[in-house]
Amino acid sequence: MTDQSSNQMWGGRFAAGPDAIMEAINASIGFDQRMAAQDIAGSRAHAAMLAATGVISDSDAQAIREGLLTVLSEIQSGSFQFSTALEDIHMNVEARLKEVIGEPAGRLHTGRSRNDQVATDFKLWVRDQFDAAEIGLLALIRALLTQAEAGADWVMPGFTHLQTAQPVTWGHHMMAYVEMFGRDLSRVRDARARMNESPLGAAALAGTSFPIDRQMTAEALGFDRPAANSLDAVSDRDFALEFLSTASICAVHLSRFAEELVIWSSAQFRFVTLSDRFSTGSSIMPQKKNPDAAELIRAKVGRIYGANTALMMVMKGLPLAYSKDMQEDKEQVFDAADNWMLALAAMEGMVKDMTANRDSLAAAAGSGFSTATDLADWLVRVLGLPFRDAHHVTGSLVAMAETKGCDLPDLTLDDMQSVHGDITDDVYSVLTVENSVNSRQSYGGTAPDQVRTQIKRWKARL
């Protein structure tokens, strides 16, 4: 006889139940209950397959499959009593199934183990999150395309080192983020395709002697095929690592954009006005409108990348096959997924609602000698100067304008000719920001025509 308090799933060889601390460190039900729907879907597919292959009777499979739906509805309605003593979602569901349908419940775990079960559930959960990320990214890309289209020819300063560099267009800047989020989207799709192999039927680690049909369960659960090596199938968490690294890279992109929005919405820049719906006020300073959503998005990369690092460290050095360390995978992924989806949605909302201040952008575009490179290029193109000499001449003209406290187009032709005698008044044609951006016609350049070409390409792609 085993002790009353020993585990009903594996208590056979145990004389005593676990210490309370053991139960606390061992249990995952506090978080893995989020995989209830996936667990039940996996078990229903497994039961159907066990009947189809003659391992269990049709009537037992029928009872199991229906009973599992009852359990699912209890969980969804909130009436299900989760028990820490039953460790995890897998044992909580199975124990309740036993209460609901009795003896046939004990046949469900034939030819499988919690090791392939948890890998299957978790893969199904992560796969759903890849799909949610795809939807979130597509919505954000669409919002950026709308901004880009509206301001394809609005001029603004382009920066390097956050110092004015050359004029660019608003559309071009928005499209830079479309490219980044587009790569995130392709990473999501790649990783999702790669992960879509079913662990179910790998059993504890070695496969099973029952004549199971792994193809059948794989298909029922929307996997492309069964995973080909049972040891790998139960111990692989690459899919979670790829999810977290994909999320991390995307979070980096989100945080860079968020940082720009924080800067751009400041009184010193006034490049954009964020909507009231995505800003907050200050309880003491009545004039304030703070870009909190942007700041929080900027910060989310910390926890998302933290989750990535944490799981990398959990997996590092684990011998094959399953080790309980791997139970630490879920909280990291759950938290990162929640925050990634939230950040994507908040960014989409902010981008949709924000107003680009065309006049402020244009005023800033011309400041800081932003057309100096155009001037140097003119000296090369029209006067045939080597670029290095043209750079030097332009540098002298910039210094002169700086001394006079004016911009490059405000220098007189006499001023210009005092530095290089061959300069003609044709030079003024390249000193306006409009001409500057219009001249950047190289593929992928900032000229409005080029920006519109890229917008069109993206729209066709979506």
| Residues belonging to the active site | 161, 282
Round to whole Å and give the CA distance between 197 and 204. Answer: 17
Cβ atoms of 308 and 101 closer than 8 Å: no
**Residue from 24, 23, 6, 26 nearest 15 by CA:** 6
Radius of gyration over alpha carbons of the chain, in Å? 31
Nearer to ligand ARG, 52 or 85 (CB): 85
Residue 70 beta carbon to ligand ARG: minimum distance, rounded to whole angstroms? 23
Round to whole Å and give the CA distance between 42 and 117. Answer: 7
The CA-atom distances, in angstroms, between 196 and each of 48, 138, 267 are 21, 21, 49
Round to whole Å and give the CA distance between 374 and 437. Answer: 10
Q: Helices in 316-405 by DSSP H: which ranges?
A: 329-353, 358-366, 372-383, 387-404
Residue 354 beta carbon to ligand ARG: minimum distance, rounded to whole angstroms? 42
Burial (CB < 10 A; 0-12, 13-18, 19+), residue 205, is middle
Round to whole Å and give the CA distance between 221 and 47. Answer: 13
Residue 444 beta carbon to ligand ARG: minimum distance, rounded to whole angstroms? 47
Cβ atoms of 156 and 361 closer than 8 Å: yes
Nearer to ligand ARG, 175 or 326 (CB): 326
Nearer to ligand ARG, 245 or 327 (CB): 327
Nearer to ligand ARG, 22 or 193 (CB): 22
Give the list of residues 6+ apart from residue 69 with CB closer than 8 angstroms, or none: 40, 44
Residue 129 beta carbon to ligand ARG: minimum distance, rounded to whole angstroms? 17
**DSSP letter (8 states) at residue 19:** P
Q: ∠443-448-451 over CA atoms, to 5°? A: 55
HSE value, Cβ hemisphere, 13 Å, CA-based, for 449: 8
In which residue are the tokens 């360390």 written? 325
Cβ atoms of 153 and 240 closer than 8 Å: no
In which residue are the tokens 């920066």 written? 159
Round to whole Å and give the CA distance between 424 and 74. Answer: 83
**Residue from 293, 258, 259, 298 nearest 276 by CA:** 293
Nearer to ligand ARG, 9 or 263 (CB): 9
Nearer to ligand ARG, 13 or 324 (CB): 324
Nearer to ligand ARG, 25 or 399 (CB): 25
Residue 200 beta carbon to ligand ARG: minimum distance, rounded to whole angstroms? 13
The CA-atom distances, in angstroms, between 172 and each of 179, 255, 445 are 11, 19, 8
Round to whole Å and give the CA distance between 455 and 304. Answer: 30
Q: Is the peptide bond between 321 and the residue preceding it cis, with omega within 30 degrees of 0? A: yes
Nearer to ligand ARG, 35 or 61 (CB): 35
Contact residues for ligand ARG (CB under 6 A)? 28, 32, 88, 114-115, 118, 322, 324, 326-327
